[in-house]
Every structure is written in C-alpha cells, then in structure tokens.
Amino acid sequence: MVSEASHSVTRAGAQVLVASNRGPVTYSLGDDGTLDAKRGGGGLVSGLSAIGDDADALWVCSALGEGDREAVRRGVGEPGVRMLDIDAAVHADAYNGVANSVLWFVHHMLYQTPLEPAFGPEFRAQWASYEAYNRAFAEALAESAGPGAAVLVQDYHLALVPGMLRELRADLRIGHFSHTPWAPVDYFRMLPDDIAERLLRGMLGADRLGFLTGRWADAFTACCVAVLGGTSGTRIGVHGLGADADFLRERSRRADVEERLAALREQIGGDGTRKVVVRVDRTELSKNIVRGLHAYRLLLDERPEWRERVVHVAFAYPSRQDLAVYRDYTAEVSRVASAINSAYGTDSWMPVILHVKDDFARSLAAYRLADVALVNPIRDGMNLVAKEVPVVSDEGCALVLSREAGAFEELGDDALVVNPYDVSGTAQALHTALTMPSAERAERTKRLAASATSLPPSQWFLDQLQALTAP
C-alpha cells in the first residue's frame, strides 16, 4: 500500500518528528518528465527551521498528486522529509471521504441536518481507508523515530495516529495539534458511537494535545467526558498561532506587491477617495463569503450614501473543487457578486471587485489598502487573515470579526464583533467600521497588531515542543 521517498536521518533515528497530510514540499511533473519542487511556508516550516539544523528533525507527509508520487517512485526527496505514497484510492477515501467530508463538517457544524449526514456502508468503507491511512503514518513514525523522540502530529487528518503510534512505540513523547475548531458534544455525537470513541481514544494516545483556543480545548474535554468518562490523564494545552510580523511587513513591500497595489487602485477608481472593504478567503463553506456579500449589498441598499464611495475587494480563492458542494458554493459567490454589480454598479464604479485566482502578492496589496477587513466565518479554528491585515495595513484598518472565529478570543476587544448569521448586524458593523474616526482606527489597529503577533509561528511550534518534552 505504501512506498516512500528516501529520507535523511541519523542511524539512531530522528529526535523531533512532525507528521501532517501536506508536507513542506510538493512536486509537479513537466511534460518532458522533469520534476519541479515547490517549497511551502507556514507555521510548521518556520517552527522546524527555528529548532536548528542540528536537531535531527524529520517531517513525515503524504504524496498528494502525481508529481509527488513520481518523486517517491524515483527516490527523489528533500533532506529531512519522508514522503509516503499511500495508495491513491485509500488516500482519496481518507482525505475527501472522511477528513474533509465528515470530520471537517462536524467540527465546523456545516451539515444540513434534515438531509445529512447519513452514515451507511459507503462511509464504513471510507472509514476503513481512514484507519489504513493513519496506520501508514504511525508505522512510518515508529520506524523513523529515535529512542524517546518527540513526535508532533498535525490535525484532523491524523486523529488516530497518536493511539496507533503509542501501541508501536511506548517510549515516544507524542503530541497532537488541532488546527480546526472542536465540535460541541451534541454535534460531535452525530458521529456513530464507535467512530466517536475511536477518534477520541486515538487522540488520547498522545501525551499532550494542543488547540488554538481555550474554547476548542474545552469542547474536546467535554466530548471526552460525555463519550469516555474523561481524558485519561492526557495533558491539554492552548497555543494561539499568531501572524509572522517580520515576514509580512518585509514581503508586503516587495516590487510585485507594489505592482498589484497600483492595479487594485486603478480598479477601485475614485482618485483614492473611496473606502475599501477587504476580505481574503478560500471558497470554504465555513468562511461565510455569501452572507458577507449579502451584508455588503444591504449596506448599499439601506445606506445609499455609500454608493460610489466604497468598494468591496473580495478575494475568494477556489478550494476543494473536487467536491460538488464546494463547486456549487464557489459558483454562488460569483453569482451574488455579479448581482450586486448589476444592481448598483455605474460606468465609473464597480461595487464588488472579485478575484478568484490565488495570488499572495495581490492579497498583501489588498491588506495594505484595507480601510475595513471583513472576517465573518461561521466557524474557524483561528483565521490568520484577521491577524495579518492589521499588521500590513498602511493607514490602519477596522476589523469586522465573527465571534465564531478562534481569533475572537484574542482580538475581540478591538474588533467590531458580529454574529455571522446576522446579515443586518453585519451590514451595520460595516457602516460603523467605515465611519470610524481615523484616530480610533489607528489605535485599534495598533492593539490588534500587537495581539495578533504575540505568538509568531516559530515560537508557536517551539512552545508546543517544549511543553511536550518538559519533565
């Protein structure tokens, strides 16, 4: 079922291991058969870099596409990375069938419960693949880890790994970190009873579990009490991932960002006098983009003084387009944006500027332009956009923030907080944000940026590692 790319660790085995579905490198296969490696960023990459080259670290990840699989077949790999080529059908069932179509939906409370979920034979077959997928990771980690090594397992894709790994290697110090929210008890118990128990026991195989906020940690504990009677002595901690201020400020001043800044200003028009409401999201169901657009439309409808004086710059980058429900949602985002432009637009003013092609430099340019940032998820583990915009904004930015984002725990005092289902309330918050005095906006932005960067990615990782390895 599994083949692997070569990896470089000491003969005694790695002492710090990270396991995640997606690794720090992906490969694309050219028409001429050449492999091109693209290296990623993010908190884990920063964290592993922070521990130093002599730490004997290894990243275990999955091959995700044909380029990755071909790299594994050829024995091509990066130092310190072990890529697992798990059978493509098993990976698809585990990743799309269970992780993204069930666990993600449970933790983000996305089901239309009159119709779904319905756990029958198809789900049971997919669950068997999820178990096999997790077992492949557990076996690779057990084989690669040195005596007493620290293993940091990442996210809902690998919830069973801690328990499986514990059975194979009792000497290891095992941590698991959840990057999503955790469902409240009643919602979590929509899962079949045996599956709910397997998930919790799998995670409780860890010595320590990490969550982004106290709210998600408390919800996990409540599920353990309801289903298992307790947490079996596993330690639980909270690590609120912050924005990387140094990287963002430097990257947002590069030439490609300046070019996109000029292009956006031209699209916005109005000779720099128009206010700008910015959102940057994937077209993920939980991000609530459609209700955000409806709230903006309501603002234009109920407060006509904003017509021609404000532009909503909305970046909605396609996500999980192999799932029909996501394709439908992406299409609805475009439909609503077009409807607003048709209803209110003029020859010299486009109310919504929608971009659907992912472009990090353009996102940073929008951050810099933002007078208002709209972050209104139905439910979100953290939401780094809410933390990044105040760091990058040129003139200060008012943050309209859902109380259901994990970032609310840290940023709520200086944001305009909304109920993500309340379109009228969100429209009012947008008006309040747009009319906020510049001095107040600047002060709020300063405090938001300080809170947002209090635990940068490298320190976030090191804090987890230190907590796991502490006596």
Find out whether 385 and 375 touch, Cβ atoms under 8 Å. yes
Whether residue 42 has pLDDT greater than 80? no
pLDDT in tens, 246-292: 999 999 999 999 999 999 999 999 888 999 999 999 999 999 999 99
- Residue 75: which region, alpha, beta or left (left: phi > 0; alpha: psi -120 to 50)? left
The pLDDT-based confidence of 10 (bands split at 50, 70, 90) is: very low
Whether residue 217 has pLDDT greater than 50? yes
CA distance 41 to 267: 30
Whether residue 5 has pLDDT greater than 90? no
What is the domain class of 245-452 according to CATH? Answer: alpha beta
Specify the range with the lowest mean pLDDT, choosing from 5-14, 183-192, 419-428, 441-450: 5-14
- The pLDDT of residue 41: 66
pLDDT in tens, 380-429: 999 999 999 999 999 999 999 999 999 999 999 999 999 999 999 999 99
Under CATH, what is the fold of the domain 2-241+458-469? Answer: Rossmann fold (3.40.50)
- The pLDDT of residue 9: 47
- The pLDDT of residue 28: 92
Q: Is 120 exposed, middle or buried (0-12, 13-18, 19+ CB in 10 A)?
A: exposed
Residues 419-448 have a mean pLDDT of 98
The pLDDT-based confidence of 165 (bands split at 50, 70, 90) is: very high
- The pLDDT of residue 324: 86
**Structure token digits, residue 245:** 């201020």
Domain extent listing, the chain: 2-241+458-469, 245-452
The pLDDT-based confidence of 31 (bands split at 50, 70, 90) is: confident
Phi and psi, residue 42, nearest 5°: 105, 180
- The pLDDT of residue 236: 97
Contacts of 389 (CB under 8 A, 6+ apart): 278, 280, 367, 370, 373, 397, 399
Whether residue 43 has pLDDT greater than 90? no
Strands (E), 116-155: 145-154
The pLDDT-based confidence of 47 (bands split at 50, 70, 90) is: low
Find out whether 345 and 300 touch, Cβ atoms under 8 Å. no
Residue 456: asked if its preceding bond is cis (omega within 30°), the reply is no
- The pLDDT of residue 213: 98
Whether residue 456 has pLDDT greater than 60? yes
Residues 358-365 have a mean pLDDT of 94
**Structure token digits, residue 449:** 């940026």
The pLDDT-based confidence of 205 (bands split at 50, 70, 90) is: very high
pLDDT in tens, 285-300: 999 999 999 999 999 9
CA distance 236 to 240: 13
Task: Name the CA dihedral angle for 352, 271, 368, 370, rounded to a multiple of 10 degrees.
Answer: -50
- The pLDDT of residue 11: 45
Whether residue 48 has pLDDT greater than 80? no
Q: How many helices (H) and strands (E) does the chain have?
A: 19, 16
Residues 109-134 have a mean pLDDT of 97
Domains 2-241+458-469 and 245-452 share a fold: yes
Residues 169-196 have a mean pLDDT of 98
